[in-house]
Structure 1
Amino acid sequence: MSSTLARSQFFFIKNNSILSITKSCSSSLCKASSRQVNKVSLETDSELCRQPAALLSSTNQSQLSAPLNSTTKRLFSTNSFNIGIRNNGLNNHTFQISKKKTSSSITEKFFNRGFSSLNSALTSSSTTTSAIYGSSTDSTSNPSISFDNSPSISKQESGKKRADKPLVNSSSSVGWWLLGTSGLVFGIVVLGGLTRLTESGLSITEWKPVTGTLPPLNEQQWIEEFEKYKLSPEFIQLNSHIDLDDFKFIFFMEWFHRLWGRAIGVIMIAPSVYFFAKRKTSRHINRRMVLLTALLGLQGVIGWWMVYSGLDQAQLDDRKSKPTVSQYRLTTHLGAAFLLYIGMFWTGLEILRENSWINNPKDAVKTFQKLQSPLLNPIRKISIGLVAFTFITAMTGGMVAGLDAGLIYNTFPKMGETWLPSSRELWDLQYTRKDDKSDWFFRNLFDNPTTVQLHHRVWATVTFFSVVGAHMYVNKYKAIIPKKAIRLMHGLMGIVTAQAALGITTLIYLVPISLGALHQAGAVALLTVCLAFAARLRKPRFPIILLINNLNRNLIKKNASKIKNL
């Protein structure tokens, strides 16, 4: 067996519509097949891992006939598997690779997981579709690329087996659904702020996840709910003057907040089951969906845990607090909502971005080239830092809301007549709970309204100037940064300026309901743009790089074939 024949080659067998790659073959087998096969080489080298963008942008015809090297051998280090392209039973092609056992590697795990389905927009492109299948196909079909670990079998059986393989990219409809659901989370965060500002959160004294969906339907039921509320510490100490009509208002605010949460649960769970059953989600997206669904269910439990802290008199006595929810539990509830929003929004953006690359593989190559630049690493880290700063600032805002700390020191930039309150006020021993006063530092950090407001001011200032610095950096290196990321940074600069002005105005005017709700909405809007900016700078996943490389290579071969026929 000669060294030339020892290299792996692609063979296209026309009569069986099968492409096979073999690591080694005898010279007699090659001679017997020479009349029926057309050699197509596999373009893979060490640059695939180190410089995927350079590989994708290569259009040199000589590279199309490059032999396999050591990196390629590592890529195909599985026992035997088939790479199939399925198109509703039409034009089925299978690439068979036979290899001896080797140790597992990252690439082997990837090939075992399988390639993804190309989305419907890709199938509608006649040029790309013909480049993949080598013949005309139905534009309404749904092609997918998968890897099969089984040996070659009949077309019908292989199609069924490949239908069970996991996908790499999810459907665009999944991405839009996640973005829409994240919009509902955005809304419930603002509604939760309104519920807090109107002091309606303790109006419903029971937690009934199912039967509590309906409000009182007649006067007798309203009276019964009002009597339950009269037994709560909030009514006894603060709201003993309200009548049934006043109670109906605060009840509806809390009831609608809970109803919105239930609606998000239904909109989250039902479509996710459908998408999973229809194989519209990839494996890594399925894992995220499980985590997001679990977090959504946990959020409901956290919500009642928070409300109960304001209904239990023993907890109020321990905190030496008026009837209100614990600021720790309120911030936990807010933080869980923010994490849920981040997960949904980020995943939705990722899915839509990957599908846009698949729709336009040539444009994706240019994007990959920019994203691989090492000069983007600093701004990529800065973008993650902006997300973290925005999140922390919002959490300190939750502590301010829980302690009503926005009702003191209603001046800016000074706190009163000085830049900082006195140390005695910042570290007051009255907030300690232990007899030996050993918890004075921790309690003042999180229980003292003066100190908590100072924290929020500091973090808001840090976030504002961090965005300003990032904006200057982006303008300096705008030649290497994607244009959409630059536009997002300009928008981020505008939103953080508006949010800072809104926060100062809210403080000066003693937190009116309208300004307080807008300020909370501004925090989520700022987080949204930070996430979008960070997503635009994220490098593509390795499976997507391979998929785009495959699409572009097929386009090159198709065009070369047309030129040759001319």
Structure 2
Amino acid sequence: MATPFVISPLRSRLAFRASQLLKNDAFVCRRCMHQQAKQSNSFRSIRRTPFLEAFTLPRRSVQSRYQSSSPTAQSSSPSSPLGTLSQSISRSSGPSHSSTASSSSWPETSHKSVAYWLLGSAASVFGIVVFGGLTRLTESGLSITEWRPVTGSLPPRGEQAWEEEFARYKLSPEFKMLNSRMDSQEFKQIYWMEWTHRLWGRVVGITFLLPTLYFVVRRRVSKPMALKLGGICGLIGFQGMIGWWMVKSGLKDDLFAQGQHPRVSQYRLAAHLGTAFLAYLAMLWNGLSILRAHRILQNPAEGAKLLEQLRHPSLRPFKRSMAALSILVFTTAMSGALVAGLDAGLIYNDFPWMGQGILPPKREMLDPFYSHTPSPHPDLLWRNALENPVLVQLDHRILATTTFTAVVALWAYSRFNPRVRATLPKEAQKAALGLVHLVSLQVVLGISTLWYLVPTPLAAAHQAGALALLTGVAVLGRRVFVSKRTLRTVQKALERQGSAVGKRTVQRHWTPPAGAH
């Protein structure tokens, strides 16, 4: 039998062989492993101290690495390893604070998804404006006599609920004076039109408010854009209130003259349509602005050249004309709202004549009937301009003709003026030509609507044409005007691009000294 002294060498050999196969970690006690790890960490920490990095790394590389860490480092350029060491120590003491501040700050440019969402919301507003025109043309806007923002989202259920809703409509002036022979089935037709219009308005508000909160909380928008989105949300809510204020004007006898056709106030109708136009233009303008900023930042050098081209002094008259044209187009659209509110399109259905001449008789244009003050009637002019259907239609004709002439003149100026043609970008020239096409189509729709005694399809198309014309003006303006924020963003992008190119050039041409690690 073998003794323990004979077996122990064999056991030692086996243990040594197993430790070699297991990389010397299987048969080491925990205390030894802890001491070994502690020694290796201290060795690594000694080798990676800022002091040694200051001497092993090249001076220019260290300077470019830590120059942007603090204002102190940017102002002083170290000329010795000790200066580089001080910058390294100051850099190592403050990255956590800077990273926290950068993560909680607003981005310089809003995300592209915000632009697509804004353009989709603008398309929804465009649709509800056209549908609202159909609701007015079919005389369905006064079918719902109560404003219930929450419970009104659900239609009547069951015959009893329909009868109660119909009974409330029977108390309105419109039923008593115009629709006294209407049955329940005819009432349901106009009810569904108005209910769909109101539900669409609620959908527009919800689909804009909730994404706004999401984009703001997740910091997907810049700080100015967040304020703009909040303003649009307020405008949408204000639009809903004006809508009920407008409908309310057609439900009371004291808000229109006795014996007159029951209709909503033309002032409130113009305010309702005007706020819808403003909300639409705000969504469209900001969506196009975000997309344009991203397109320019893809190539900051080319974008800077484009922005400088748009700031050329030869384009100043063109820009001023564009601003005046936008006001003219909006004013013409609001005068069309007055025409719709007064049913002024049902008189003098000829063009360009109004009766025996281009102008109607003076007595019809300035009728003392519309004055609310005794002779000499100080309010005669503005009352007739806003409440007399004859003068309201004449004003709309004059404004429409002026708008058409202004658009054609602006295009001709951009086309035949040598300096403007050489400076104006090609995309802006195409937008100006497209604006001519839109205004020509709008004139044809307006004259056709007048000739055929305001049929519903043509009248709705004419209202949609007004918003399409405003869209063309906004697109052209967005391609011409340059905001100061866009200029600052492009300048920062150029500075970052130049700094990155400089760092790559230094790293490419730097040769480490002999013996450096």
Correspondence 1:73-472 to 2 at 5 A? 153-317=93-257, 321-436=260-375, 437-472=377-412
What is aligned with 2:45? none
C-alpha RMSD of matched pairs (Å): 2.7
Which amino acid letter does the alignment assign opposite residue 473 of structure 1? Y
Once the two structures are superposed, residues 328-384 of structure 1 have per-residue CA deviations (whole angstroms, 9 ceiling, x without a partner) of 000010111111111111111111111111222232122123112111111111222
What is aligned with 1:475? 415
Which amino acid letter does the alignment assign opposite residue 407 of structure 1? L
Tell whether 2:443 aligns with 1:500. Answer: yes
Distance 1:193 1:471 in 2: 31
Once the two structures are superposed, residues 393-433 of structure 1 have per-residue CA deviations (whole angstroms, 9 ceiling, x without a partner) of 10000000000000011111111220100110100111123
Distance 2:61 2:324 in 1: 50
Q: Secondary structure at the match of 1:322?
A: coil
Q: Secondary structure at the match of 1:311?
A: coil
TM-score (norm 1): 0.74
Which amino acid letter does the alignment assign opposite residue 402 of structure 2? V
C-alpha contact 1:405 1:449 (8 A) present in aligned 2: yes
TM-score (norm 2): 0.81
Q: What is the number of residues matched between the two proteins?
A: 446
4+ runs deviating over 3 angstroms: 10-27, 32-38, 151-154, 434-438, 558-566
Correspondence 1:480-495 to 2 at 5 A? 480-495=423-438
C-alpha contact 2:133 2:463 (8 A) present in aligned 1: yes
What is aligned with 1:543? 488
Distance 2:211 2:411 in 1: 39
Q: Which has the higher strand share?
A: 1
Distance 1:156 1:415 in 2: 77
Can you give the 5+ residue segments of structure 1 that lack an aligned partner in the other structure?
A: 1-9, 39-92, 97-150
Q: Secondary structure at the match of 1:479?
A: helix
1:512 alignment partner, one of 447, 455, 460: 455
Distance 1:153 1:216 in 2: 68
Report how far residue 385 of structure 1 moved. 1.8
Distance 1:326 1:32 in 2: 81
Distance 1:258 1:446 in 2: 28
Change (3 A) 1:366 1:417: same
Q: Which has the higher helix share?
A: 2
Change (3 A) 1:358 1:26: closer
C-alpha contact 1:393 1:456 (8 A) present in aligned 2: yes
Report how far residue 157 of structure 1 moved. 3.4
Tell whether 2:480 aligns with 1:553. Answer: no
Distance 2:86 2:421 in 1: 49
Which amino acid letter does the alignment assign opposite residue 391 of structure 1? F
Change (3 A) 1:152 1:189: farther
Distance 2:311 2:82 in 1: 42
Can you give the 5+ residue segments of structure 2 that lack an aligned partner in the other structure?
A: 1-59, 512-517
C-alpha contact 1:364 1:548 (8 A) present in aligned 2: no
Once the two structures are superposed, residues 430-466 of structure 1 have per-residue CA deviations (whole angstroms, 9 ceiling, x without a partner) of 1123345442222111110000001100110111011
Once the two structures are superposed, residues 55-103 of structure 1 have per-residue CA deviations (whole angstroms, 9 ceiling, x without a partner) of xxxxxxxxxxxxxxxxxxxxxxxxxxxxxxxxxxxxxx9xx9xxxxxxx
Distance 2:379 2:193 in 1: 37
Compare CA radii of gyration and give the structure with the larger one: 2
C-alpha contact 1:432 1:440 (8 A) present in aligned 2: yes
Distance 2:138 2:319 in 1: 40
Change (3 A) 1:351 1:33: farther
Distance 1:316 1:213 in 2: 29
Percent of residue pairs bearing the same amino acid type: 43
Distance 2:76 2:182 in 1: 93
Change (3 A) 1:225 1:521: same
Distance 1:25 1:195 in 2: 67
Report how far residue 386 of structure 1 moved. 1.9
Q: Secondary structure at the match of 1:201?
A: coil
Once the two structures are superposed, residues 207-231 of structure 1 have per-residue CA deviations (whole angstroms, 9 ceiling, x without a partner) of 0000000111211111111111001
Correspondence 1:43-54 to 2 at 5 A? none
Distance 2:299 2:179 in 1: 62
Distance 1:521 1:367 in 2: 33
Report how far residue 185 of structure 1 moved. 0.8
Which amino acid letter does the alignment assign opposite residue 292 of structure 1? I
